[in-house]
Structure 1
Amino acid sequence: MTRPTSLPLAPSRRAFLHRSAQAVLLGGALGLAGRPARAAAPSVRSLMLDHTHTRERIDLVYASGEQYLPQALGSLNHFLRDHYSGEVGQIDPQLFDLLHRVRQTLGSGVPLSYQIISGYRSPLTNARLRDTRGGGVASRSLHMDGKAIDIRLPGVPLAELRDAALSLKAGGVGYYPRDQFVHIDTGRVRTW
């Protein structure tokens, strides 16, 4: 199982692991008779994430074609755990696809690694934050269901990140310029 590691992860090792995972996933396509390997290769989806609170980094392939990779999903669940309590929740795989699509929308000239402010949040943590943040935390936050994440992308203006997420019309998008993050979720389409 791929586990998050503490920062900094040596770039050559990270690149090696990323390429190795892709090679394993794509290797099966080479044996298909009568088709060029490139045409038969499944679409591979990957993420690079840096957690601002735990100082961990993860870089992995989480899906190949229509199939999510269970080990990768487990690693992402652990990585996006409640950083206050350590409780691990089940993250909606569609949230990973949403992050992947936002990156694609922004294009290839932007940094690859998202900074994560908040992923899963336990009900107890959510209640505590709601009591101490003056109403800035929803009582039925989708963070508690593993369907929301707060992010930024270094080098990309926050408004541009927000606009990329909005353009997908795939869930909720919250814009928090004072706190320097964008909230995205897989709930109903809405904005604030």
Structure 2
Amino acid sequence: MTRRGLLGAFAATALAAAPTYSNAFGLLRGAGDIRRLKIYNGRTGESLDTIYWIEGSYIKDALAEVNHVMRDWRNNQVKSIDTRTLDIMAAAHNLMDTTESYLLISGYRSPQTNAMLRSRSSGVAKNSRHLKGEAADLRMNSRSVAQMYRAASACAAGGVGRYTSSNFVHMDCGPVRSWGS
């Protein structure tokens, strides 16, 4: 099956299974029944390359590592990152067919950090999904914002924001929606 055919099949499956989209990622697992994340946190210098889901089960220790890397680096507060967001990130990464890690711009944000960022920018939501551990702002050197946006949007499984002038894409597990230019 071609990559285009796989993308079309995935999109159709994701739409048909929207209420339970976490099962739709099965088409993207490739040769094994696994989900993997590669993340580099430029603020802390930490790298993560982990399989966080195998054969229908999340791996507790791997999720703890993901939560740590995606913490609020300003105050080291850790929150559990919603696995639905991780699944969207992993599925989009697979669609982009790259071995490069995501560069994490923002994962979890504490209320204090979110308030500080809101005071500096009108683009920070008061009730941001970052506060709930449900969002990630990401970039890649080998893929454009448009490419990342298209891959995340193809998952049809959450919110996807395109921030071309700031060179990142927002992915979250909220309602399916998109924005930005």
Structure 1 position 74, deviation (Å): 0.7
- 2:100 maps to amino acid: L
SS in 2 for 1:130: helix
Q: Provide the rounded CA distance (Å) in 1 between the counterparts of 2:55 and 2:113.
A: 35
Q: Could you tell me how far apart the structure 1 residues matched to 2:148 and 2:124 are?
A: 21
Matched, 1:54 2:41: no
Point out where structure 1 has 5 or more consecutive residues left out of the alignment: 1-40
Normalising by structure 1, we get a TM-score of: 0.74
Match of 2:104 in 1: 116
Which structure 2 residue ranges, 5 or more long, are not aligned? 1-30
Which residue is 1:146 aligned to?
A: 133
SS in 2 for 1:124: helix
Aligned to 1:8: none
Runs of 4+, deviation exceeding 3 Å = none
Q: Are 2:75 and 1:88 equivalent residues in the alignment? A: no
Alpha-carbon spacing, 1:81–1:104, altered in 2? closer, same or farther (3 Å): same
* CA–CA distance in structure 1, aligned partners of residues 55 and 123 of structure 2: 38
1:76 is matched with which residue? 66
Tell me the alpha carbon deviations over residues 150-185 of structure 1, each in whole angstroms, 9 at most, x when there is no partner. Answer: 001221111011011111111111111111100000
What is the percentage of aligned positions where both structures have the same residue?
A: 39
- Write the mapping of 1:130-145 to structure 2, written as runs, cut at 5 A: 130-133=118-121, 135-145=122-132
In 2, Cα distance between the equivalents of 1:42 and 1:164? 21
1:171 correspondence with 2:158: yes
Correspondence for 1:9:
none
Please say which structure displays the higher CA radius of gyration. 1
Which residue number in structure 1 is paired with residue 21 of structure 2? none
RMSD: 1.3
Find the aligned partners of 1:161 and 1:144 in 2 and give their Cα distance: 23
SS at match of 1:112: coil
Question: Is 1:45 aligned to residue 35 of structure 2?
Answer: yes
Separation in structure 2 between the aligned mates of residue 125 and residue 103 of structure 1, nearest angstrom: 28
Letter in 2 for 1:132: R
